[in-house]
Structure 1
Amino acid sequence: CLISGIKLREQEALVGRYEALREPMAARKQKLSDSLRLQHRDVDEIEAWISEKLQTASDDEDYGDTLAAVQVTSRSGSARFKSSES
């Protein structure tokens, strides 16, 4: 039957195209997995950094509640640090 022969050739062509894409799809999947792993590592590092900074910011030392108070505290802390280096 002519129609079933045409359908069989179309099916074979479709399977051939799929098979040709199988290796590039696997390579792309691996690259995406590697990229995702790197992104998760970066997120973990950033979250750890944020956690560290939040801990520092919430320490008992009072930094003040205005920009001027924070700047004064920061300057005095820097001065203390420099004098301890000498």
Structure 2
Amino acid sequence: MKFQLESSKLEFFRPDAFGFINGLKKEPPKQKMINLSIGAPNRPTPKWIVEVMKENLSNPAYHTYPPQHGAPELLEGVADWYKKR
């Protein structure tokens, strides 16, 4: 079934980023390209990560949208990582 948009104003959102990239991949390349769009994992998620996710699935605190500008803990962790490197 093809999705019909109610308003032509919503056409602005088509195609999404992945659809746009997939469209480009269908065109013959003008030069040699390496596809760095969507990757696929080549090994399973570490078991400890899966266990932590399972433990926290029922926590209502994680059933919301993330903070608009990122979680402070994550931002601090990323900043620390960059400082070390």
Q: Shorter-chain-normalised TM-score: which range?
A: under 0.3
Q: TM-score, normalised by structure 1?
A: 0.23
Q: Which has the higher contact order (CA 8 A, sep 6+)?
A: 2
Q: Who wins on radius of gyration, i.e. which is larger?
A: 1
More helix by share: 1
TM-score by length of 2: 0.23
